A and B are shown apart, each in its own frame.
Chain A
Amino acid sequence: MASDRMEAGTITITSRKGDEIEAYHARPMEATGYPSVVVIHHMPGYDSSTKEIARRFASRGYGAVMPNLFHRYAPGASSGDAAAAARAAGGVPDAQCLDDVAGAMAFLKAQPGANGKVGVIGYCSGGRQSYLSACHLELDAAVDCYGGGVVATPDQLTPERPVAVIDMTKDLRCPMLGLFGVNDASPSPEHVAKMEEELTKHHKSFEFHSYEGAGHAFFWVERPSYHAEASRDGWHRIWDFYGEHLAG
């Protein structure tokens, strides 16, 4: 029987631009040739729920790193205070997010036991950032969990997020899995249909699943939005997808 021992905790990683930021690292302790995943947290921040997701990946034999995208706004603060500080500052710029995800990728690839394949997964605002990352970085697979704002109207663009992510689709560099709730308002089923249309137009490899009865944040346990059936099936889809694209 394979060992299920893991190691997890907060570390410091170096962003692509050289900034040191906080990150949560979880990895299997006795595996070799394991695949890796960058986990992008949701808008509420670098919290215990998303750390639990990173550990879940480690429990399945993946190395996982969750960069704290809000670290610069409030070093050493609680996840809630950091999320509030980041929001007050206008939110995380897309360029900065890409630097942090790139830094996390480099860290994961440098681990002695890693097989060199790196995927990305993000939830909520992190779903949008996962899509964004997959259009700019050399990732091997991307998962967008109900990322709102991929489809954006001109009035929703800001200096921090100046380009609608859907307009980057032609540059998507890896297969994508999208998991959505039919009852979600952002992304709504209409938004998801537009994403499918754009991905198809550019001949991208993708697989979308939309769950009846589920809304936004259906993976978020201990919250009213949690949806057991969607979450259970979604995790199966993730394991199958990463199993296919991140194997050594």
Chain B
Amino acid sequence: MCTYLTSTEKVAGTGLGAQGWFAIEEAVVYFDHPQEALVEHALCIDFRAGSRADPSERVAVELDAGSARRLAESILATLAHDEVKALGVD
């Protein structure tokens, strides 16, 4: 199936693309046919420089569903770690 479900998050950070580092303004998340990964569907994230930037300024990842879940849990667990909390960041 091809899905139209797309979630776009405004984010702040930097990404390393083919032309070097650039500022990331949004993360577009979807579960659909990947461009490259040899799975029928993948959890895809495009870290993009923003809608007005060069379309090639993006970092793309395509993960199978299990990998994506483990990554999400890992991110949340890392942010919930006492050492991170002690830094006083959100």
**Residue of B with least CB distance to A90:** B6
Complex contact B51–A89 (CB within 8 A):
yes
CB 8 Å contact bits of B36-75 with A (1 = contact, 0 = none): 1011100000101001001110101000000000000000
B2, B32, B38, most chain A CB atoms within 10 A: B2
Answer yes or no: A84 CB below 8 A from chain B CBs.
yes
Shortest Cβ distance from A223 into chain B, in angstroms? Answer: 7
Complex contact A85–B33 (CB within 8 A):
no
- Residues on the A chain within 8 Å of B35, using CB: 44-45, 47, 80, 83
Shortest Cβ distance from B30 into chain A, in angstroms? Answer: 6
A to B contact number (C-beta, < 8 Å): 77
Binds B, one of A11-19, A70-78, A165-173: A70-78
**Residue of A with least CB distance to B1:** A186
Q: Whole-angstrom distance between the alpha carbons of A30 and B32 in the complex? A: 41
Contact pick for A81, options B3, B36, B55, CB 8 Å: B55
- How big is the A interface, by class? 35 or more
Q: Whole-angstrom distance between the alpha carbons of A41 and B34 in the complex? A: 14
Answer yes or no: A82 CB below 8 A from chain B CBs.
yes
CB 8 Å contact bits of A112-146 with B (1 = contact, 0 = none): 00000000000011000000000000000000000
Which residues of A does B touch, CB under 8 Å? 42-45, 47, 73-74, 77-78, 80-85, 87-91, 124-125, 148-149, 156, 158, 161, 184-187, 215-217, 223-225
